[in-house]
Structure 1
Amino acid sequence: MSASAAPSPSPDDRRPILICGPTASGKSGLALALAERLNGVVVNADALQVYDGWRVLTARPPAGDEARAPHRLYGHVPPSEPYSTGRWLAEAGDEIAAARASGRVPILVGGTGLYFTALTEGLADIPPTPPAIRAAAEAELARLGLPAFAEALRARDPETHARLDLANPRRVLRAWEALETTGRPLARLQAETPPPVLALTDARAIRLMPERETLYAGIDARFAAMLEEGALDEARAAMDWEAPASTAMQALGAAELIAHLRGEMSLDEARELAARATRRYAKRQLSWARNRLGAWPAAATPAEAFRALTGEA
């Protein structure tokens, strides 16, 4: 796979750069290389790398990389706080403006595709979910299980159900919560979306779409490296967090490593289950990008993406 046809960038192109791709595809390294080459600021677009306490397990850029170029919206949220797409959109908009004001190129990078669609297509103005409604929805999900819960949503809101990633419990919960909170289908609320913060035509975008076998091998190797770099210590520390937000505990591998620390499985079992869950997640990310970001140029490797974005051989 090579980068799809796109106009060659001019040397003075200062438009923001958007990089979306699955976990372990080399996004962070690409963003750093571009930041160093183009006087850029790297802005996080990953829903879990925002959390303090998860550096190794979420593959947040190491401190050495953060010292080589400015990095924003990494590790700035306590584990006790929920974090929404709306909050990210506001913060990312501020970072884009600040980077531009300082003469730098904003480089937004991450695997949370919803952040990019919110940025370039707009985000529906949906009121926050009241705690009582959220608790009731989560209890219903736990009682029914995800497939039956999704089917219950379909019976009430077939329009939104048809557009959801039904393997993602947070997305199904969000649709249920919006219906309970507003009495209106999420799909219709989204249809009333205000203008985007950044039009896609005003940005340089690329999606990393590696070959699946290469990606899966990288996932397995990276998780083994994470264990050597302290992922187990992070999981142990997370066991002592007071009332962590459910979003903070969705870091891939966290549940398996915590289960190991509780004596529920061996480290080898935890490693295999975590790697398997990560591979499945990456597969969903690839499918989502094909379906929702099909207009973006694609590259199989970070090197291809770098050439496409800079025009350099």
Structure 2
Amino acid sequence: MASDPAGPGAPVVLVVTGPTAAGKTDVALTLAERRRDTASPVSLVSMDSAMVYRGMDIGTAKPSADVLARYPHALVDVRDPAEPYSAADFVADADAAVREALAAGRLPVLVGGTMLYLRAFREGLADLPPADPAVRAEIAEEAGRLGWDHVYRVLERVDPGAAAGIHPGNRVRVERALEVYRTTGRPLSAWWAAQRDTGAARRLGVRLVEVAVIPDDRESLRAPIEERFSRMLDAGLVDEVAALRARGDLSPALPSMRAVGYRQVWSYLEGDGDLDALRARGAAATRSLAKRQYTWLNRWSHVHRLAPGPAGELASRIEHLLEFS
């Protein structure tokens, strides 16, 4: 669903998204360089749920310190890995970054592949009830006895609408959906349907122009994904995760350590398989992430799709789109 139109004269917020390893970051950086000395330079806002965490650099493909110095990104390194960061946190922080950019006469560019964040920014969030630790503990105990597949099937029975939009492997969202139902007696999908009009157009008075760098054939990402994860291992990903693990206050249950790549390396450090097995599992998990990103994007017909190519050519096409949008 696209955000409500805010009128042709409204300021624009550009979104550059796409599946992992498709090249969206390079395109955004090229666009930032081209507009560096123009009347409307770019302000980059990271839309990545793992890049928010400090000390998680290699496995998130976080831009280098030199790149960040030249092209600052809002919402990078804003949380410790022991701290949670929700979609609501993202919307609040992204709104602040967008307002700051617009006040300075800059073009806000959200760049990243966390589709839940994009939907939350575009459409707003339902005013959901607070967490209930007792109900969460009950669901976790049920999952421990019967498995998370069983918990997902329960959700499918009581809230098929929510279940259809949640991947069965996403335990956090499965748990939250069932928690809302058991706490309130009302399906999460009903909360979504009745949410206030809190989309970006109303909150910020902006128009969104959304672009996805996405191959038509998902299989074409297989080799780039495998090469990308191998480069991460060669760059020291295992040592990065070992240092995080050695802190003593992190665990595989935390959202930060469930990030793709990090949970696979954590398992490896606990003795689960050799380096070749880690390489295969990490690439497979990244391909699964890309598949989920495709699923999100295929629902959004309003998003302009660009086939991967040289970053300069794609940046030119985006600038043309902005000129006539």
C-alpha contact (below 8 Å) 1:52/1:79 kept by paired residues: yes
CA distance in 2, matches of 1:83, 1:272: 29
What residue is the counterpart of 2:3 in the other structure?
none
CA distance in 2, matches of 1:58, 1:14: 31
C-alpha contact (below 8 Å) 1:49/1:58 kept by paired residues: yes
Q: CA deviation at 1:141?
A: 2.8
What residue is the counterpart of 2:174 in the other structure?
172
What residue is the counterpart of 1:3 in the other structure?
none
Q: CA deviation at 1:107?
A: 0.7
CA spacing shift, 1:213–1:158, aligned 2, 3 Å: closer
What residue is the counterpart of 1:6 in the other structure?
none
Task: Choose from 246, 256, 260 the match for 2:264.
Answer: 256
Task: Choose from 163, 181, 188 the match for 2:183.
Answer: 181
What residue is the counterpart of 2:245 in the other structure?
239
What residue is the counterpart of 1:8 in the other structure?
none
- TM-score normalised to the size of structure 1? 0.88
Q: CA deviation at 1:129?
A: 1.1
**More deviation in 268-277 or 171-180?**
171-180
C-alpha contact (below 8 Å) 1:46/1:112 kept by paired residues: yes
What residue is the counterpart of 2:157 in the other structure?
155
CA spacing shift, 1:246–1:128, aligned 2, 3 Å: farther
Structure 1 runs (4+) greater than 3 angstroms displaced: 302-305
Q: CA deviation at 1:139?
A: 3.3
What residue is the counterpart of 2:301 in the other structure?
294
Structure 1 stretches of 5 or more lacking a match? 1-11
CA distance in 2, matches of 1:42, 1:146: 38
C-alpha contact (below 8 Å) 2:52/2:79 kept by paired residues: yes
CA distance in 1, matches of 2:143, 2:111: 31
CA distance in 2, matches of 1:279, 1:192: 34
* 1:58-69 matched pairs, under 5 angstroms: 58-69=60-71
C-alpha contact (below 8 Å) 1:36/1:68 kept by paired residues: no
Q: CA deviation at 1:170?
A: 2.6
CA distance in 1, matches of 2:77, 2:142: 31
- TM-score normalised to the size of structure 2? 0.85
C-alpha contact (below 8 Å) 1:24/1:218 kept by paired residues: yes
C-alpha contact (below 8 Å) 2:12/2:206 kept by paired residues: no
Q: Does 1:205 align with 2:210?
A: yes
For residue 200 of structure 2, give the secondary structure of its aligned residue in structure 1.
Answer: coil
C-alpha contact (below 8 Å) 2:210/2:303 kept by paired residues: yes
Q: CA deviation at 1:270?
A: 0.8
Q: CA deviation at 1:35?
A: 1.8
RMSD in angstroms over aligned alpha carbons?
Answer: 2.2
Q: CA deviation at 1:15?
A: 1.5
CA distance in 2, matches of 1:70, 1:29: 14
Structure 2 counterpart of 1:28, which letter?
T
* 1:16-31 matched pairs, under 5 angstroms: 16-31=13-28
Q: CA deviation at 1:296?
A: 0.7
CA distance in 1, matches of 2:98, 2:12: 10
Q: CA deviation at 1:76?
A: 1.0
CA distance in 2, matches of 1:194, 1:42: 28
Alignment identity in percent? 38
CA distance in 2, matches of 1:214, 1:159: 32
* 1:1-313 matched pairs, under 5 angstroms: 15-38=12-35, 39-199=41-201, 202-210=207-215, 211-241=217-247, 242-244=249-251, 246-291=254-299, 293-301=300-308, 303=311, 305-311=314-320
C-alpha contact (below 8 Å) 1:48/1:250 kept by paired residues: no
Structure 2 counterpart of 1:306, which letter?
A
Structure 2 counterpart of 1:269, which letter?
A
Q: CA deviation at 1:17?
A: 0.7
Q: CA deviation at 1:218?
A: 0.9
Q: CA deviation at 1:222?
A: 0.6
For residue 303 of structure 2, give the secondary structure of its aligned residue in structure 1.
Answer: coil
Q: CA deviation at 1:101?
A: 1.0
Q: CA deviation at 1:13?
A: 9.9
C-alpha contact (below 8 Å) 2:15/2:111 kept by paired residues: yes
CA distance in 2, matches of 1:51, 1:67: 17
Q: CA deviation at 1:57?
A: 0.5
CA spacing shift, 1:298–1:13, aligned 2, 3 Å: farther
Deviation string 1:146-183 (CA, Å, 9 cap, x unpaired) is 32211111222233223333343232222112223333
Q: How many residues are treated as equivalent by the alignment?
A: 300
Deviation string 1:238-260 (CA, Å, 9 cap, x unpaired) is 21240456211111122222222
What residue is the counterpart of 2:5 in the other structure?
none
For residue 44 of structure 2, give the secondary structure of its aligned residue in structure 1.
Answer: strand
CA distance in 2, matches of 1:264, 1:160: 34
